[in-house]
Amino acid sequence: MPPLDILILSNGPGEITTWVKPVLRSLRQRVPSHEQVRISLVLSPCPHASGREAQIGQSYPEVDRVQAAEHFWQFLLRGKTAAAWDWRDRGVVLFLGGDQFYALVISKRLGYKSVIYAEWDARWLRWLDRFGVMNGAVIDRSPRQYRHKLAVVGDLMSDVRQVAASESLLQSLDLSAETELIGLLPGSKPNKLEQGVPLVLAIADYLKQARPQTRYVIPVAPTLDLETLARYADSSFNPIVHLVHGPQTQLVRPAAGALPYLKTQAGTQVFLWQPFPAYDVLTQCRVCVTTVGANTAELGALAVPMVVLLPTHQLDAMRSWDGLPGILSGLPGIGRPLIKLFNLVVLGILQRSGKQFAWPNIWAKREIVPELWGRLSGQSVGDRLLAYLTHPHQLEAMSQALQQVRGTPGAADKLADLVYEDAEV
């Protein structure tokens, strides 16, 4: 077989760990020789990047070379990598995150075939060669004359769902057959953390009274240090603590080998999980409590049941509107009252319209996971969680619905087959 180059295009931390990693394994299982098949990973900029994507890629033994995102535009526009890589005559560009247009430009410049993993939409169908799609709905939305290019491979996140809890994970979270784990995801940005952190701690405190066997864990965003996270539970730093009746807490750092945790006045311990991404611990959660955003997409892909919070205790924290509302919010003296009024009106309209914000509900065009609005409290959310925990069949039904809206397992192997078929190996 003539030597082959496989150029993988990817971007964010989720794609690197849940798309690239399993596909790399499948590609190497078919052709282990690095001389026969050379695999290069090129990263494009991503707003959710942690800055560690290149380092993670370099840790994969299947990869021969990695280029970080800061060098991407030079490569896209001029075709030159920072290290002046050479390219073989035969190759395939495999798209695993970013903008599908990048794969079009780069594959045409190198004269390579192209294979695109299309989770929701297949684009540039006329010019790209092959598409591995998550489910049949992507094919149904595509023009009929190009559907021969598309094949259902399934959900690349499916392998992560099968991750078994390691013995060290069970020990660090004090888990046993009698305990249950609840994930608390308060967000990663200040506006969400202000409301999210004290609220999830209040929920944990409330649940502890009814379910003392339950353990709680916060997967900490890679951009957030523990001291900053803990400050959002401090009423002297965060005034929202009083609004949501959040408990005062302290950050506890046990001896080496044990997980740090937040401890409330009532004695509730909320473990802080720093390894990223946290899919191994999330897949062990009976249910998660999360703010709206990318977390809902990740939990949905992992088929983890969730309750989604949209608290409105501090409406002026929702200052992300464009256009006139953004201008009004900046007016001195009257900006905050105006934006509060505007958000109240808009939120009322959205609630009456039935608009959904959790990604699984958007995917399914119906409510799979509950979205709780308003001035939420530890008791109001805790009671909803207790109803689920005491009726576990409801959580199982939610998990099954999440799996159905995503796709079938085995996507990494099928995508690797498409790559080698495209290269005519």
Q: Is 173 helix (H, G, I), strand (E, B) or coil?
A: coil
**CA 410 from centroid of its chain's CA atoms:** 20
Structure-model confidence comparison of residues 177 and 126, the more confident one: 126
Domains and CATH numbers, the chain: 4-161+409-423 (3.40.50.2000), 167-406 (3.40.50.2000)
Please report the pLDDT score of residue 47 as a whole number: 83
Please report the pLDDT score of residue 161 as a whole number: 65
In whole angstroms, how far apart are CA 108 and each of 102, 128, 256? Answer: 10, 9, 52
Q: How far apart are CA 55 and CA 209, in angstroms?
A: 43
The residue with tokens 């009929």 is 144
Please report the pLDDT score of residue 294 as a whole number: 80
Structure-model confidence comparison of residues 149 and 17, the more confident one: 149
For the stretch 88-147, pLDDT in tens is: 999 999 999 999 999 999 999 999 999 999 988 999 999 999 999 998 989 999 999 999
DSSP 245-277: TPPPEEEE--STTSPPEEEETT--EEEEE-SSS
DSSP 3-26: -EEEEEEE-SHHHIIIIIHHHHHH
Residue 350 has pLDDT above 60, yes or no: no
Residues with Cβ < 8 Å from 97, sequence gap 6 or more?
9, 10, 11, 12, 15, 16, 19, 20, 44, 46
Please report the pLDDT score of residue 166 as a whole number: 60
Please report the pLDDT score of residue 321 as a whole number: 42
Residue 160 has pLDDT above 70, yes or no: no
Please report the pLDDT score of residue 191 as a whole number: 82
Please report the pLDDT score of residue 317 as a whole number: 45
Q: How far apart are CA 132 and CA 155, in angstroms?
A: 10
Structure-model confidence comparison of residues 169 and 329, the more confident one: 169
Mean pLDDT rounded to a whole number for the chain: 87
Q: How far apart are CA 280 and CA 125, in angstroms?
A: 35
Burial of 141 per CB tally in 10 Å (0-12, 13-18, 19+): exposed
Please report the pLDDT score of residue 257 as a whole number: 73
Q: How far apart are CA 205 and CA 207, in angstroms?
A: 6
Most confident of 70-79, 177-186, 348-357: 70-79
Residue 267 has pLDDT above 90, yes or no: yes
Please report the pLDDT score of residue 289 as a whole number: 98
Please report the pLDDT score of residue 311 as a whole number: 84
Percent of the residues in the chain that have a pLDDT greater than 70, as a whole number: 84
Please report the pLDDT score of residue 314 as a whole number: 56
For the stretch 367-418, pLDDT in tens is: 999 999 888 999 999 999 999 999 999 999 999 999 888 767 789 999 999 9
For the stretch 7-41, pLDDT in tens is: 999 998 878 888 999 999 999 999 999 999 999 99
Residue 299 has pLDDT above 80, yes or no: yes
pLDDT-derived band of residue 318, with 50, 70 and 90 as boundaries?
Answer: very low
Query: Within a 10 A sphere around the Cβ of 119, how many other Cβ atoms?
Result: 21
CB 237 within 8 A of CB 231: yes
